[in-house]
Amino acid sequence: MPIYEYACAACGSEFEKLVRESSPAAECPNCHSTDLRKKLSAFAALSSAAARELPAACGSCGHPDGPGACRFQ
């Protein structure tokens, strides 16, 4: 289920919407127009070298900041 970013051609507002296969056509939450333009979105990706530099996940809770980042020890 991707999240798309839209810009409304009618009022200029920008918003995100979670889109499922069964979702109705997107509409602006501000003015309810369906004249929308999908924005080009950047996505996050880690190279394997960058991933090796991250701390290991906490062994107790899986917190991504590593051991001791949470209250569970």
pLDDT of residue 19: 83
In this prediction the pTM is 0.53
Question: Domain spans of the chain?
Answer: 3-40
Q: Higher-confidence residue: 65 or 38? A: 38
Which residues are bridge partners to 45 per DSSP? none
pLDDT of residue 32: 95
Nearest to 6 by CA among 44, 25, 43: 25
Mean per-residue pLDDT of the chain: 78
Would you say how long the chain is, in residues? Answer: 73
If residue 17 lies in a helix (H) or strand (E), which one and from where to where? strand 14-18
